[in-house]
Amino acid sequence: MLNVLERSDRAGALNKITMYDLHTHSLLSDGDLLPSEIASRYMAKGYKTIAISDHVDYSNIKAVIDSILLFTNNWPKDSSLSVLPGVELTHLPPKQFKPLAKLARSKGIKIIVGHGESPIEPVVSGTNHAALEADIDILAHPGMITDEDAKLAKERGIFLEITARKGHNQTNQHVVSQAKKFGANLIIDTDSHRPENIIETEELKNVARQAGLTDKEIEELYLKVADFLKKKGVR
């Protein structure tokens, strides 16, 4: 057990960590807000880096990529918030993950999210595995992820998502348990679609606590995300 001083030190360290959210949606897909308003709202809540990762498949991927790159390339370089271009490969037939991830990466997309086997949507069985075999960075809301796929996430260095989104979050504890069991990396995201989904940084940490992470584990999680973002060229 931590004594009072140790708990205070840990809380202080956690309060100083840089906050990220790499899974957000704008009106380029099914979100309510312009990218600029998303950025402004996250900046006001103290976040330092976000990715706008709208839903894509073959029907819209080129248009979404063009639009989000135009926005992020013109986002002020001296802003306190870094905004990264992303996509979420969503409800794809499993064989389409690899070619669409390759296309997104070739166009300059920094953050590729795979829409995992959420417990509340009719996602095709085998989606988690197909996404993990593709060039993605995050497997979003992976539901009752199997041992095999948790191991694959570890092997490929892909983050498994703890999500704040209602419904998708039903299996957060299972995702945390599987990640701990096999040593896979975790990430905490809001999966925001509308203003009320853009929550305070402390609320996002509480999502992780409720999923079974300690403050020390949350701090370590964010440090791993920071290392990942440095490799992406984020300051």
Residue 118 within any structural domain of the chain: yes
Q: Are 162 and 176 in contact (CB under 8 A)?
A: yes
186 located within any domain: yes
Q: Encoding tokens for residue 150?
A: 């948790």
**Closest C-alpha to 87, from 180, 35, 43, 24:** 24
Residue 189 and residue 23 in contact, taking contact as beta carbons nearer than 8 Å: yes
Does residue 108 belong to any structural domain of this protein? yes
Burial of 53 (0-12, 13-18, 19+ CB in 10 A): buried
* Amino acid, res. 216: K
Q: Is residue 7 part of a domain?
A: no
Domain containing residue 91: CATH number: 3.20.20.140
pLDDT at 45: 96
In a domain, residue 9? The reply is: no
- Single out the residue of 211, 155, 208 nearest to residue 184, CA to CA: 155
Coil, strand or helix at 49: strand
Overall domain count for the chain = 1
Q: Quote the pLDDT of residue 235.
A: 65
> With the C-alpha atoms ordered 168, 44, 79, 194, is the resulting torsion angle positive or negative?
positive
* pLDDT (tens place) for every residue of the chain, 235 residues total: 444 444 444 444 455 678 999 999 999 999 999 999 999 999 999 999 999 999 999 999 999 999 999 999 999 999 999 999 999 999 999 999 999 999 999 999 999 999 999 999 999 999 999 999 999 999 999 999 999 999 999 999 999 999 999 999 999 999 999 999 999 999 999 999 999 999 999 999 999 999 999 999 999 999 999 999 999 888 6
The Cα 51–Cα 75 span in angstroms is 12
Identify whether 139 is part of a domain.
yes
Cα(76)–Cα(32) distance, integer angstroms = 22
Q: What's the confidence (pLDDT) of residue 15?
A: 58
- Using CA atoms, how far apart are residues 139 and 127, in angstroms rounded to an integer? 10
- Kindly state the helix (H) or strand (E) to which residue 111 belongs, with its residue range: strand 111-115
Give me Rg for the CA atoms of the chain.
Answer: 17
| Structure confidence at residue 115 (pLDDT) | 98
Q: Is the dihedral of CA 218, 221, 223, 226 positive or negative?
A: negative
Q: Is residue 2 part of a domain?
A: no
Supply the DSSP string of 52-96, one letter for each residue: EEEEE-TTTHHHHHHHHHHHHHTS-TT-SSEEEEEEEE-S--GGG
Domain that holds residue 53: 18-231
Which positions ≥6 away from 210 have C-beta within 8 Å? 172
Q: What is the pLDDT of residue 104?
A: 98
